A and B are shown apart, each in its own frame.
Chain A
Amino acid sequence: MTLIETLASVRPGTALSDAMEKRAEILRLSEAAHDAVLLPRDPGGLSHGLRAALAARMARQNGNAALAGHYDTLVAGANEPATASLADPKNNVSGPRLAEIVRHADRLTLAPRDATRAHVEALRGVGVNDADIVRLAELAAFVNYQVRVIAGLKLLGDMR
């Protein structure tokens, strides 16, 4: 079972679970996307530990404690003390590069509409390269997709 299916916990034998069966390839690709953004073979300048901590943070900002719990498990597995505390949205770090990455991750999750060219320039200014800027956007974009699929499935599942 994919992570989205586990966390949405749709009752088997319902019309909604039949519909999800028809969309099995979409759920499978969603799981593959999870692995590509959280556990890439080439993480670039964003370590697996940082990705997991930011994903947990994004899940919390979206009010999804169960999903945050999943990412906390990845944070623990990565065993990277320098980034683990970022899983809590109240925390930031002092180093300029990482602090700017966290600020941008928060913006991408909470208020993507406010994003401007200046924010990309600020990331470049602290040494984040263009490939990592794209990787960070994909990470935030994916987690926010996943949050909305789970939220929507729960609403549909509770109703029927």
Chain B
Amino acid sequence: MSEIVHTFTTTVPRWQPYVVPVEFATATEEQHAAMQTTPSNKGISTYVLTLAHDPETLAVRSPLFNLIMYGKDGLASSERELGAVAASVVNRCVYCAAVHASRFTAQTKRTDVIDAIFADGLDATLDEHLQAIFDFSARLSPTPPEATAADAQALADVGLNELEALDLVLSSAIFGWANRLMHTLGEPVKE
């Protein structure tokens, strides 16, 4: 019996779709081609098979996601992950938050940061550098976006250059996309 996970956790759940995913064996040539690149290069998951219902979009989205999240220069990978976590908290995508919080802690060993975010949500108090990043991403995420000039200035004040700030915009924004798929097309479960 599967139990739906409703609260933020760093134990990565299993993602279970509400719709019936494409079956790999009977997928069209276009669907197979679109599944060649996968988000985070993780192999063909149930999530990818679900998105294969729209192969034209999937074929573009996976390489776009990977370039934004795993590009070599610019913003530190862990700080892109923090942007992803902030968006996922706003949009309450428990699955996305679990995956990207886990990556943040794997890279930084800062479990205290994720503990604070999962306990206090958008009111979490972090050290100055991470606070600027978290707050900017969180305020970019609602509809309409609420980030202000002061939030952008805070990024410069803690030392982010233009390329790093741009990478944060992109990693926050791509989770405005990812959250709207993961959280609306399925749910996180533990066995």
A binding-site residues for B, Cβ under 8 Å: 14-16, 18-20, 22-23, 25-26, 29-30, 32-33, 36-37, 40-42, 44, 61-64, 108-113, 115, 117, 119-121, 130-131, 133-135, 137-138, 140-142, 144-149, 151-153, 155-156, 158-160
Whether B174 contacts A145 by the Cβ 8 Å rule is yes
Whether B152 contacts A159 by the Cβ 8 Å rule is yes
Q: How far is the CB of B191 from chain A (nearest CB, A)?
A: 18
> Contacts A30-B64, A134-B53, A156-B162: A120 and B19 contacting too (C-beta < 8 A)?
yes
Which residues of chain B are near A135, meaning CB under 8 Å? 53-54, 57
Q: Please name 19 pairs of A and B residues whose Cβ atoms are closer than 8 Å in the assembled complex, sorted by A.
A: A23-B167, A26-B68, A29-B60, A33-B60, A36-B57, A36-B59, A62-B143, A113-B90, A117-B187, A130-B19, A138-B51, A138-B54, A144-B177, A145-B176, A149-B173, A152-B172, A156-B152, A156-B165, A158-B149
> Contacts A29-B63, A151-B145: A20 and B166 contacting too (C-beta < 8 A)?
yes
A-B contact count (CB 8 A): 173
Contact with A along B125-167 (1 / 0, CB 8 A): 0000000000000001101110111011100100001110111
> Contacts A33-B64, A61-B143, A156-B165: A131 and B185 contacting too (C-beta < 8 A)?
no
Whether A22 contacts B74 by the Cβ 8 Å rule is yes
**What would 15 more interface pairs be, CB under 8 Å, given A29-B64, A108-B184, A138-B51?**
A26-B67, A26-B71, A30-B64, A33-B60, A37-B57, A63-B145, A112-B180, A113-B91, A133-B185, A135-B57, A141-B180, A149-B173, A155-B152, A156-B162, A159-B152
Identify which of A20, A33, A62, A121 contacts B145 (C-beta below 8 A). A62
Instruction: Decide if the interface of chain A is mainly helix, strand, loop or mixed.
Output: helix
Which residues of chain B are near A130, meaning CB under 8 Å? 19-20, 53
Instruction: Decide if the interface of chain B is mainly helix, strand, loop or mixed.
Output: helix
> Contacts A15-B161, A117-B18: A137 and B184 contacting too (C-beta < 8 A)?
yes
Which residues of chain A are near B145, meaning CB under 8 Å? 62-63, 147-148, 151-152
Which residues of chain B are near A145, meaning CB under 8 Å? 173-174, 176-177
Interface residues on B, range: 35 or more
Distance A155 CA – B71 CA, assembled complex (angstroms): 22
Q: How far is the CB of A152 from chain B (nearest CB, A)?
A: 3
Whether B68 contacts A134 by the Cβ 8 Å rule is no
Within 8 A of A (CB), among B7-63: 18-20, 50-51, 53-54, 56-57, 59-61, 63
> Contacts A15-B162, A26-B64, A29-B63: A144 and B176 contacting too (C-beta < 8 A)?
yes
Q: How far is the CB of B142 from chain A (nearest CB, A)?
A: 9
Whether B57 contacts A142 by the Cβ 8 Å rule is yes
